[in-house]
Amino acid sequence: MAIELVTLGQAKAHLRVTHAHEDSDIQLKLNAATRMALAFLDRDVFSTQAELDAAVAAGTARPCPLLAADDDMDMVRAGILLTLGDLFANREEVVTGTITSQLPTGAKACLLPLRRMGA
């Protein structure tokens, strides 16, 4: 993954996991939750201003890019953690009436204000 918005330690603290034997599973779900959040936003996130500037200059940055240090990123991190919690709690498609490809309601509430709308 190109950018780490939530560390494994932060993810484990959110999930209240203190042991290490699920680290690889948590990391897998964290990567998926991050990708889901960024796909929902439809915006690029860059680690540094220099990376953002280089992508803009090269013409590879999508409209409305974000910096990982932006204040708004707390909402993105919260959305990632809420999605991770849902993936961790619902490991199989056994919950009646849910669609696993959708973001949890709380995650959408965090991410929607930052979502790029329109073309």
- pTM score of the predicted model: 0.80
Radius of gyration of the chain (CA): 15
Question: What is the C-alpha to C-alpha distance for residues 38 and 50, in angstroms, rounded to an integer?
Answer: 20
Helix segments in the chain, DSSP class H: 8-15, 23-41, 49-58, 73-89, 105-111
Q: How far apart are CA 79 and CA 18, in angstroms?
A: 22
**pLDDT tens string for the chain (119 positions)?**
468 999 999 999 999 999 999 999 999 999 999 999 999 999 999 999 999 999 999 999 988 999 988 888 999 999 999 999 999 998 765 555 554 557 778 788 888 888 887 75
Locate the domains of the chain by residue range.
8-114
**Residue 19 token pair:** 């042991």
How many whole angstroms separate alpha carbon 17 and alpha carbon 21?
A: 10
Tokens of 35: 């990708």
Three-state secondary-structure class, residue 101: coil
